[in-house]
Amino acid sequence: YSAPPQSGEDAAQISFIAALQDDSNITQRVLIGRTSLSVNPMTQSLLSILRSMITYEGEGILLDENGLILFHPQTSRLMEAYGGRADVRETLFDETAPDGTRRLVYIKSARGRPWTIVLSLPARQAQQLAINIAAPILIAMVVLVGAAVVYFRYNLGKITSSLQLLAEQATSIAQGRLDKVVEAKGEDEEGRLRTAFETMRLSLKMRLDELNRLLWVSQGVASSLDLKQAVRPVLEAALSVGAASVRIVLTPGALPGLDAEESRLTCYADGHAAQLYADLDEQILTVCRQQERIVLSHPFRPRLLTYPPHAPIPESLVAVALKLENEMVGVLWLAFDIGRSFSEEEIRFITTLAGQTALAVANARHFLTAEIGRKRLEAILTSTSDPILVTDPKGQVSLANPAALRAFSGGKELITSPKQIRLPQELSELMRATNEGVHSIELPLPDGKIYSATASTVYAEGRAVNRVCFLRDITHFKQLDALKSEFVANVSHDLRAPLTLMRGYATMLEMAGSLNEHQLGYVHKIVLSVENMTRLVNNLLDLGRIEAGVGLQLELVTPKDLVEKALNDVQLQATQKRIQLSADLPTEGLPLIEADSALLNQALHNLLDNAIKFTEAGGKVQVGVRVKGDQLIFAVRDNGIGIAPLDQPRLFDKFYRVKRPGSKSGGSGLGLAIVKSVAERHNGRAWVESQLGRGSTFYISLPIRQPRESQPSAAGSGGAAVSAGD
């Protein structure tokens, strides 16, 4: 039990009672005692702590289990009941003291006894205490932070300046300035970054230098067609790898036209030891035929090459075959004075150089091929005795061989260059006629000879670029032709009188006395043959006359009348063969044509005669007339047997007849020749379109009005000649 303190003491007393038991736990005696807490040695340490609270202007209080105060700094309050909170095991709270100040109160129950300790302290004191405790820590922290700031400032500054340097370096690399060296310092991250940067700069510089060299090489290769000039940059670029000798060796057939030196290798070399290892050329070429590349760091080791005794041997070498498509044209090989290995970049560089060399060889090859072709053509053109002309698309003469220059030089005029040549009207028209294949005409030239000119178009990549004209001297043939025609004309003329006589007497035989049936048959055969021969002779004479230009009676004729007369003339023949004749004329707009009506009628008659002759019974023959520009075109169309393409070009030649198995039509082969001559005498032309088995259409095209000056001209009709074909 708690008891009030003795006077002069600052803590309450405790009375207690305890049972004293023997060994068998039976209470024998009872102890009753009382002790003062202020002197009891067991409570001294507790009380001194409670008293020490005064130092901090606080108070320490001890309460018993009934809430009575056992210790209090104010002794008057001992044994009073404690008014505040004391019912918890442990708590801390602040409260307002009666004097209005804030206090911190800590309550904790004691261990071993159901007592409670209450410590209270003014808040101000607590704060002061906290400040006292925190101040040194704060100072220490400020010092530490300051030190950290200084440390980081110093180190970060170093990193920043390093980064700045690298950024500058990166900028100058980006601008293509690769000469600035990045110094590598230390082993740390920054050092490693600098080293990486420097490595990158060096490899970039190397790559760029290599590219520059290759660019220079390819410019060199493209700028010259002379192989020696073109490979010079290749040799120089190859030397930059450090080689003592660079050699380009070409196979004997690599370039065309070097026939004289067929068995010798063509070489281009550079470097201080350029000629020293020349003996290896052939061996390296042979090996490179099997393998595209030779890389020897120690040329002795693999027994790829054999070295003659005492011959100089390179310490290392690289050779790359020169290939054009799949053809090996040579080798580029580098020899070194020192034994060394080759990086992948170096091999790639040398291979690229080999590619450029092959390109130079290809260029030179194309150039030489073209050049040889040109020289060959020039030699042919110069040596040929036939004149040859080439005109550009504008019709200007761009090339003429010496024979052509001679042909166009006549009288006093001496022509020495193609530019001086003045083409005659017909020839320049022939040269202008593009896209129409080959054409030919006959014409006299200033040298007094007659030429047959054939022109054709020269195409390049599908486009007509030039016209080329070959002139053949046909003067001799013309003279022969004229002689022959004269002879034929004379003979024909001389034959006419006896033929008339023979026919007269043969028909008179019947009148002279009676003949038996056999005799009559023979007489008929004689008359028929004489008539055939007379027709042939008449045809020959007509042709001779037409070609000689005799008797062309120009007058204005109506095409319709011409057609109707020609149709009338063959009507009987057609009816006998049951062939339907018709005319196809436009109802209006047909102009009068200026022509020799008798000749034109003969031409139409010949065409209609043939059409009926070569059309099966029951077929159709039609004559049409059309106007095209300043030309009038007559067309005689049949649906007969047709003409094979092979025969068509020669159809209008004199005496030409199509050979058909089983055919026995007895023509002379002069009918179409007369048609052609009539057309040409009128400054027109005749042609045929035909398909075997389907029929033929023969055309005569004539100018509606004859040109004034072109009354009978020798050139248009092939001269005053009757020819038996060219």
How far apart CA 582 and CA 355 sit, in angstroms, is 76
The CA-based angle 373-375-380, given to 5 degrees, is 95
614 binds ligand ADP (CB under 6 A): yes
The one-character DSSP state at 43 is G
Question: What minimum distance in Å lies between the beta carbon of 546 and ligand ADP?
Answer: 14
Q: Is the separation of the CB atoms in 257 and 268 below 8 Å?
A: no
CB of 619 to ligand ADP, least distance (A): 10
Q: Which stretch binds ligand ADP (CB under 6 A): 517-525, 593-601, 670-678, 699-707?
A: 670-678
Instruction: Report in angstroms how near the CB of residue 377 gets to ligand ADP at its nearest.
Output: 41
Q: Specify the residue, 297 or 648, whose C-beta has the smaller distance to ligand ADP.
A: 648
Q: Which is nearer to ligand ADP, 317 or 670 (CB)?
A: 670
Nearest approach, Cβ of residue 573 and ligand ADP (Å): 13
- 678 contacts 593 by C-beta, under 8 angstroms: no
Give the nearer residue to ligand ADP in terms of CB position, either 36 or 668: 668
Question: What secondary structure letter does DSSP report for 93?
Answer: E
Query: If binding is defined by CB under 6 A, does position 667 make contact with ligand ADP?
Result: yes
* Interaction of residue 638 with ligand ADP, rule CB under 6 A: yes
643 binds ligand ADP (CB under 6 A): yes
Q: Choose the binding region for ligand ADP from 261-269, 421-429, 570-578, 656-664 (rule: CB under 6 A).
A: 656-664
Q: Which amino acid is at 464?
A: A
d(CA 55, CA 75): 17
- Per CB under 6 A, the list member of 117, 353, 359, 641 interacting with ligand ADP is 641
- Region from 491-499, 514-522, 651-659, 708-716 binding ligand ADP, contact rule CB under 6 A: 651-659
Q: Which of 353, 346, 285 is nearest to 316 (CA)?
A: 346
Q: Which residue is nearest to ligand ADP (CB)?
A: 667
Is residue 473 within the footprint of ligand ADP (CB under 6 A)?
no
Least gap, CB of 664 to ligand ADP (angstroms): 11
Task: Please report the DSSP string for 472-505 in residue order.
Answer: EE-HHHHHHHHHHHHHHHHHHHHHHHHHHHHHHH
The long-range contacts involving 290-294, CB below 8 angstroms and separated by at least 24 positions, are: 291/321, 292/320, 292/321, 292/323, 293/318, 293/319, 293/320, 293/321, 293/347, 293/351, 294/318, 294/319, 294/333
Nearer CB in complex with ligand ADP: 232/676: 676
Residue closer to ligand ADP (CB basis): 381 or 621: 621
User: CA-CA distance, 119 to 88, in Å (whole number)?
Assistant: 14
Going by the DSSP 8-state scheme, the letter that residue 1 receives in this structure is: -
Asked if residue 542 binds ligand ADP (CB under 6 A), the reply is: no
Out of 533, 658, 714, 724, the only residue in the binding site for ligand ADP (CB under 6 A) is 658
Query: Stretches 8-16, 152-160, 542-550, 669-677: which one binds ligand ADP (CB under 6 A)?
Result: 669-677
Q: Which stretch binds ligand ADP (CB under 6 A): 329-337, 417-425, 545-553, 649-657?
A: 649-657
Torsion of CA 269, 272, 276, 281, to 10 degrees: -30
Nearer CB in complex with ligand ADP: 543/625: 543
Interface region with ligand ADP, contact rule CB under 6 A, candidates 186-194, 361-369, 487-495, 606-614: 606-614
* Of 280-288, 503-511, 543-551, 605-613: span binding ligand ADP (CB under 6 A): 605-613
Q: In this structure, how many other beta carbons lie within 10 angstroms of the beta carbon of residue 281?
A: 19
For the record, the structure tokens of 199 come out as: 């490595």
> Any idea what the Cα angle at residue 405 is, between residues 401 and 411, rounded to 5°?
165
Q: Which is nearer to ligand ADP, 322 or 536 (CB)?
A: 536
Q: Is 672 in the site for ligand ADP (CB under 6 A)?
A: yes
The answer to whether 679 touches 685, Cβ cutoff 8 Å, is yes
Question: Is there binding between residue 696 and ligand ADP (CB under 6 A)?
Answer: yes
d(CA 35, CA 264): 138
Place of tokens 């080293």: 195
430 belongs to the binding site for ligand ADP (CB under 6 A):
no
End-to-end CA distance of the chain: 169
| 610 is a contact residue toward ligand ADP (CB under 6 A) | yes
State the nearest-atom distance from the C-beta of 650 to ligand ADP, in Å. 9
Report the alpha-carbon distance of residue 29 to residue 19 in Å, rounded.
Answer: 6
Partners of residue 15 on adjacent β-strands: 34
Part in contact with ligand ADP (CB under 6 A); list of ranges 21-29, 247-255, 576-584, 666-674: 666-674
Asked if 387 interacts with ligand ADP (CB under 6 A), we say: no
Shortest distance, position 655 Cβ to ligand ADP, whole Å: 8
Counting Cα atoms < 13 Å in the Cβ hemisphere of 170 gives 10
Interface with ligand ADP: number of residues (CB under 6 A): 20
- The first and second tokens of residue 77, run together, are 């309050």
Does 623 contact ligand ADP by CB under 6 A? no
C-beta of residue 577 within 8 angstroms of C-beta of residue 614: no
Residue 59, CA distances (Å) to 64, 106, 509, 583, 696 in order: 17, 11, 192, 154, 149
Q: Are 136 and 143 in contact (CB under 8 A)?
A: no
682 binds ligand ADP (CB under 6 A): no
Which residue among 58, 387, 640, 684 contacts ligand ADP (CB under 6 A)? 640
**Closest separation in Å from C-beta 661 to ligand ADP:** 12
Interacting residues of 259 by C-beta distance below 8 A, sequence separation 6+: none
Binding site for ligand ADP (CB under 6 A): 606, 610-611, 614, 638, 640-641, 643, 651, 656-658, 667-673, 696
